[in-house]
Amino acid sequence: MLRLTQEYFGNNDAELNRGKAAMTPLEAEQAVTKVVSEFNDYFRKVSEDRRRHPTDDLASVIANSKIDGEPIADIDAMATYITVAFAGHDTTSSSVAGAIWHSASFPTNLRAYVQTAR
């Protein structure tokens, strides 16, 4: 999941994409399409499993959701899974990395925070 999330958001970053090189806009678009397809393939299998064997997890909630009394459409379920994966990987890791960078760049702020938190 993390690799796919990084490839989605960093598709033109040579350190994150599969080709390890800068891409043209068309290549970047094709890379994003491939990543979304891989997410969908993975989460479609998760959905099928959770519909047959629900557990006490978010995937079961999404897979068995109803919209206007009807089972959630596949495209809506896939979009929800992808949103959760992005939020859990990219946003969280970027926020933590940003906080560490800021703390290292401004150690007096970190000391002030630590003293206040006590």
65 vs 91, more confident: 65
* Residue 18 confidence class, pLDDT cut points 50, 70, 90: low
- What is the average pLDDT across 73-102? 85
Is the entire prediction scored with pTM above 0.75?
no
- Is 18 within a domain? yes
- Is 103 within a domain? no
- Is 19 within a domain? yes
- Give the residue ranges of DSSP H helices in the chain: 2-9, 25-52, 58-63, 74-86, 92-105, 107-117
- Is 111 within a domain? no
Give the residue numbers spanning the domain of 8. 2-91
- Is 107 within a domain? no
DSSP 17: S
- Is 76 within a domain? yes
Domain count, the chain: 1
